[in-house]
């Protein structure tokens, strides 16, 4: 596929997500897709997943635990089999009611007309705070001597 066809496929997946058409989103993906978002302590839907079934599970848990108020792709950059999307999102953690937002980067790998891999980068700190998880500083700090 051409770079433009790759971008069109990724745009199609975003449009399906915006229309709450998970079946169409998943149909854009290869059966063995690799899906990776930053792992956040205490958030079960984060981390790495493999295959459409696990990605569907990700979307289910994601929607149960947070409301997506905005997911706006702003810029698409394509080169060879990669499509990089720069965007902005805003969410509400359902358990705490806290809102958070972040710019993000999504990196897609496309082959044979399907999304083979997805990787997300965003400000994890704001999610940790919104969900009431322990602050990142506590997660990496060593206890002070007594």
Please state the rounded mean pLDDT for residues 1-8: 95
3-136 belongs to CATH 3.10.450.50: yes
Contacts of 61 (CB under 8 A, 6+ apart): 44, 45
pLDDT of residue 44: 82
Global model pTM greater than 0.85:
yes
Structural domain spans, the chain = 3-136
pLDDT of residue 125: 84
Please state the rounded mean pLDDT for residues 40-50: 86
Please state the rounded mean pLDDT for residues 22-33: 98
Please state the rounded mean pLDDT for residues 42-68: 93
Taking residue 121's Cβ as centre, other Cβ atoms within 10 Å add up to 15
Nearest to 69 by CA among 5, 15, 18: 18
Distance (Å, whole) CA 112 – CA 128: 37
Distance (Å, whole) CA 75 – CA 86: 5
Contacts of 28 (CB under 8 A, 6+ apart): 9, 10, 12, 13, 16, 114, 115
Please state the rounded mean pLDDT for residues 85-104: 95
């Amino acid at each position: 596929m051409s770079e433009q066809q790759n971008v069109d496929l990724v745009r199609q997946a975003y449009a399906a997500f915006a229309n709450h058409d998970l079946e169409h989103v998943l149909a854009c993906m290869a059966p063995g897709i690799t899906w990776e978002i930053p792992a956040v302590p205490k958030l079960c839907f984060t981390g790495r997943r493999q295959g459409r079934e696990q990605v569907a599970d990700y979307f289910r848990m994601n929607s149960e635990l947070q409301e997506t108020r905005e997911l706006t792709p702003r810029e698409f950059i394509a080169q060879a089999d990669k499509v990089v999307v720069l965007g902005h999102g805003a969410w509400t953690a359902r358990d705490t009611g806290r809102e958070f937002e972040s710019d993000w980067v999504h990196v897609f790998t496309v082959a044979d007309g399907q999304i083979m891999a997805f990787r997300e980068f965003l400000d994890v700190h704001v999610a940790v705070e919104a969900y009431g998880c322990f602050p990142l500083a506590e997660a990496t700090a060593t206890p002070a001597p007594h």
